[in-house]
Amino acid sequence: MTLTGEHARQYANTLKGNTYMNKIVVKFGGSSLASASQIRKAVDIIRADPDRRYVVCSAPGKRSGDDIKVTDLLYACYDKAAAGDDFAPVLEQIRVRFAQIVEELGVSFDVDGEIEVMRAHLQAKPDRDYMASRGEYLNSKIIAAYLGFPFVDAADYVTFYADGAYNAQETTHKLSAALADKDYAVVPGFYGALPNGDIHTFSRGGSDLTGSIVALAVGASLYENWTDVSGMLAADPRLVDDPHTIEHITYKELRELSYMGASVLHEDAVFPVRTAGIPINIRNTNAPADVGTMIVPTIPDDIKKRVVTGVAGKKGFSSIQIEKSMMNAQSGFLVRVLDIIAAHGVPFEHCPTGIDTISVIVETEAFRNRREAILREIHERLHPDMVILENGLAMIAVVGQGMVSYKGVAAKIFGAVADAGINIRMIDQGSSELNIIIGVEEADYEKAIRSIYKAVEKLM
């Protein structure tokens, strides 16, 4: 089945039993809104379907390879102000970006007035998150004016706890109420506010999360995430020639792949919509006829099942291998190892075990500063026979819900890696059999990805 926009909607409506028909949340990323001509494309997409009612905007991104994202300019501007340096030239660059957009769109909007508010803020007491948020804030106000939609400021509804954690319950409650009487609205992505009213942002790329939050709040039938690629690819195109576009992927598979480095969507963006089962459709603003990728709770029955969905990976891992004879006879050994590592605030990624050995895989970056202390404690508290530390590992995940009922995927993967002359340093199969993860030396990473992809391509 080929998935058109109409199919996607029908499918979404089946999922929701038609309860939430006709409400689509659209989120446009920075490259989709980088200039007036890109904004026009986005607006054409919005106007092409009256169900596209709630629009979440990013700040203007790069117009070309060597351009600078407005958010990066805003951070640079803040850095200058915070250091007591002259921030005026960077602020002027930001003003010019927005002035150009406003002029080319022919919309009436007081860019200079907004820039003066920012200047006064920077002179008084610069705040990093406040500055970072102004890209989404201004872009959304301009786009709302151009579309003739009401502007709904995320600062009034998207709420964080005082420690910066996202407050889902309060946000959904407030945002649902605010949007209930609005058929259309533009909401800036990326930020909200702390209980004291100060602006607080999500991590970079966080407008994807706002889109998901708005979709949940309005009970959308579909969350369309418009970007500059025609969906999610089954592997990194910098490493693999012409990888498949994934037409359907489950939330769980996406989570595994994005955690392992596939970066089409913010890695937390599925959480808000997941509870409500709202599908996300990744689409391309520059090729709106392309069907993109549907991210769904489960793969619908009329769609061809595939065994493997995608391959992703990243470098920068370390392994702490602990050996102790009769380890298997000591209860709680593994717990104590993990306890020591956790007490130092280092999350562990994988933990393959043997009879008398345990390996704990951690991100080198998170581990680096705690390394000596952790190793000392392991020696003092657990008296191991040997501890071997190894850096420079890369992890590769082969992800696919279909692997659970298919024989021989692991054999294909390991065979391909061996044929390529690569030594596998670690193997871990997730308990859900949703993924097979292998560790290789960083130097072998690219070659391993290519050979694995080739080996499983026919199963996609």
Per CB under 6 A, residues contacting ligand ASP are 30, 58-59, 69, 71, 135, 189-190, 204-208
Give least dist CB 42 to ligand ASP, A: 14
Cβ atoms < 10 Å from Cβ of 42: 22
Give least dist CB 135 to ligand ASP, A: 5
Residue 59 or 452 having the CB closest to ligand ASP: 59
Rounded CA Rg of the chain: 24
DSSP conformation class of 327: G
Q: CA 53 from chain center: how many Å?
A: 23
Tell me the CA distances in angstroms from 291 to 48, 163, 263, one per residue in order. 15, 40, 19
Q: CA 72 from chain center: how many Å?
A: 18
DSSP conformation class of 356: S
Give least dist CB 227 to ligand ASP, A: 10
Q: What angle do CA 367, 372, 373 make, to 5 degrees?
A: 90
Task: Report the amino acid identity of residue 379.
Answer: H
Q: CA 336 from chain center: how many Å?
A: 33
Nearest to 93 by CA among 128, 68, 126, 114: 68
Residue 199 or 308 having the CB closest to ligand ASP: 199
Question: Cα separation of 299 and 297, whole Å?
Answer: 7
Give least dist CB 33 to ligand ASP, A: 9
Question: Cα separation of 402 and 417, whole Å?
Answer: 21
Give least dist CB 273 to ligand ASP, A: 16
Give least dist CB 24 to ligand ASP, A: 19
Q: For residue 318, give the 3-state DSSP assignment.
A: strand
Residue 137 or 367 having the CB closest to ligand ASP: 137
In the numeric block, which tokens belong to residue 229?
């690629």
Give least dist CB 154 to ligand ASP, A: 12
Beta bridge partners of 191: 201
Residue 204 or 368 having the CB closest to ligand ASP: 204
Residue 189 or 310 having the CB closest to ligand ASP: 189
Q: For residue 263, give the 3-state DSSP assignment.
A: coil
Residue 30 or 384 having the CB closest to ligand ASP: 30
Q: For residue 4, give the 3-state DSSP assignment.
A: coil
Question: Cα separation of 238 and 52, whole Å?
Answer: 33
Residue 5 or 135 having the CB closest to ligand ASP: 135
Give least dist CB 304 to ligand ASP, A: 33
Give least dist CB 210 to ligand ASP, A: 8
Nearest to 236 by CA among 413, 458, 448: 448
Residue whose CB is nearest to ligand ASP in the complex, by number = 207
Residue 16 or 200 having the CB closest to ligand ASP: 200
- Dihedral through CA 270, CA 15, CA 178, CA 211, nearest 10? 30
Residue 33 or 337 having the CB closest to ligand ASP: 33
